[in-house]
Structure 1
Amino acid sequence: MEMWMHQLLSWLALPQFGLSTVFVVAFVSATLLPLGSEPAVFGLIKLNPEMFWPAILVATVANTLGGGVSWWMGLGAHKVVNRARGYSNDGRSLAWLRRFGPRACLLSWLPVVGDPLCAVAGWLKLPFWPCLAYMAVGKFFRYLVMTSALLHFMPGQYGL
């Protein structure tokens, strides 16, 4: 067991497997698991400033794909619940999300509510591809702004 854990940690170590680490962490953090990907992105960029754009893009793609998985999980949960109940009832509390449609997925970058928002979009059967596109835009700007701000306020010896 200890050998396996050591191998896993060395595989995820920065910078040796930097972009793969960012991808895995960003993907997993886009699900309903409580994990933040920003420290991995920031750490890679602090160690390798030339990796700024690749790290931002890899994190955006992975986090968007994770949001897509959450969307499919929401759709699947909806189908299971409807089958168990024998009827469909989305409730009035979700009417605001349905009103905004896929554009609501722009808010998928928000902490705490962003990841469940992707699942709720699937639950409501909002169109997948437009939702994914809006997720990508929101997540890209989150990584760009947060990483740029961290680098600005914590430049250190590796600052850009």
Structure 2
Amino acid sequence: MNELALFLSAFLAATILPFSSEVTFVAALTSEMNPLSAIFFASCGNVLAITLNYWFGYWLYDKTKTKLNSSKTGTKSLEYGHKYGYFILLFSWLPIIGDPLTLVAGVLRLRFVWFVIVAGGLRVLRYYLLTLVV
């Protein structure tokens, strides 16, 4: 397994595609890839993809803000999102639900720096913990 394949696997897994980077990551580790190199390339791909998700969400808000603000439900959703938005980022590393949460973070216009620190940091931590297990 080479670094580019691991990077692409991690990138695609952090999009809305139903794909798991953990399997590829473990395969890279068992094929004698340097653990630090594996963490680096998987993390870079994953964090780059969630950053892309965030900006897609940010762009979607411009397209939907009138609709969201014109309904009671939309207004309440934004209100709760802004109130609990950073808390939901703690679940952004989870499979299946985590990647859509990174898109929602952009829609809610959470501060990008905090988004990268929390969501990106948890992605890196996940790979590090997998390294310890394998």
How high is the TM-score relative to the length of structure 2?
0.85
Which stretch of the first structure deviates more once superposed, 90-99 or 130-139? Answer: 90-99
* Separation (CA, whole Å) in 1 of partners of 2:107 and 2:60: 7
Cα separation, partners in 2 of 1:146 and 1:82, compared to 1, 3 Å: same
- More helix, by proportion: 2
Q: Which runs of 5+ in 1 are unaligned?
A: 1-13, 152-160
* Amino acid paired to 1:73: F
Cα separation, partners in 2 of 1:148 and 1:99, compared to 1, 3 Å: same
* Separation (CA, whole Å) in 1 of partners of 2:65 and 2:99: 22
CA contact (8 A) 1:102 1:127 kept: no
Aligned residues: 132
Match of 2:7 in 1: 23
* Separation (CA, whole Å) in 2 of partners of 1:104 and 1:57: 25
1:67 equivalent among 27, 45, 50:
50
* Separation (CA, whole Å) in 1 of partners of 2:97 and 2:68: 29
Identity in percent: 29
SS at match of 2:92: helix
Deviations 1:43-86 (A, max 9, x none): 1110115x111101211121011111111111111111235x39
Q: Which runs of 5+ in 2 are unaligned?
A: none
CA contact (8 A) 1:25 1:37 kept: yes
Any residues of structure 2 matched to 1:75-94 within 5 Å, and which? 75-82=58-65, 85=67, 87=69, 90-93=74-77
CA contact (8 A) 2:85 2:108 kept: no
* Amino acid paired to 2:60: A
Match of 2:31 in 1: 47
SS at match of 1:109: coil
CA contact (8 A) 1:103 1:131 kept: no
Match of 1:114 in 2: 98
Q: Calculate the aligned-residue CA RMSD, in Å.
A: 2.1
Q: Which has the higher contact order (CA 8 A, sep 6+)?
A: 2
CA contact (8 A) 2:15 2:49 kept: yes
* Separation (CA, whole Å) in 2 of partners of 1:36 and 1:79: 31
